[in-house]
Structures are given as C-alpha cells and as structure tokens.
Amino acid sequence: MLTSNRLRQLLAEKLQALYVHVEDESHRHAGHGERQQGSGGHYRVQVVSPLFAGKTSLQRHRLVYAALAEEMGQSIHALALQTYSPEEVPTAGIPHNWIA
C-alpha cells in the first residue's frame, strides 16, 4: 500500500523536487465504489521542481504521471496536482520554509 510518505519520497527522487506536500484525501471517498474495491487512494499534491521551469501545466502533469507510472491505477486512484517551478513559489502560496 502506498503511503503519503512514500509518495512524497518518489516525487522528490524522480522529479528532483525541492518541496513536496501530500494530502491523503482517501477518507473523503470511503463510500465510493472504487474505494471499496481497493483500487487506490485519492491524493492532493503540491510539487516544486526545477524540471517544471518553462513547461506548461500539461507538460508538468505528464512528468508527474511518468514519475508515478507504476502506482497510477493501482495504489493511486485520483491525483490532484499543483506544480510549480522554484521561480513561481513566491506567488504560489507555498510556505516560506518550502525548501526541504
């Protein structure tokens, strides 16, 4: 089973992320059919990575999906993404101590 910590670790390693915040929202979907069948968790993720610089939102999301390819559809059922380059952090609502 994928944990929030493991998801954070995967994104940090594969995307050279400087900041990763993961919220497991699976509890909000406890009654949904997909959740009952154990098809994976629901996560909300914020990622800051230099790999996102100059990329569109779609390109950034594709990088995240590629990094999590083995988990998608198995351990992850739904993924809400907020992706930023380091230059975007001052206006993104990321905590001031965002460098992890």
CA atoms within 13 A on the CB side of 38: 2
- Show the domains of the chain with their CATH numbers: 4-91 (3.30.300.90)
Return the amino acid letter for 60.
Answer: R
Which of residues 34 and 97 earns the better pLDDT score?
A: 97
Supply the DSSP symbol for 72: B
- How far apart CA 19 and CA 50 sit, in angstroms, is 10
Per-residue pLDDT tens for 71-97? 887 889 889 999 999 999 877 777 666
Max Cα–Cα distance, the chain, nearest Å = 41
Per-residue pLDDT tens for 6-26? 999 999 999 999 999 999 888
Instruction: Please state the separation of Cα 38 from the chain's center in Å.
Output: 20
Rg of the chain (C-alpha set) = 14
pTM, rounded to two decimals = 0.81
Q: What was the pLDDT predicted at 35?
A: 44
User: For residues 36-53, b (16+ Cβ closer than 10 Å) or e, as one string?
Assistant: eeeebbbbebbbbbebbe
pLDDT score of 52 more than 60? yes
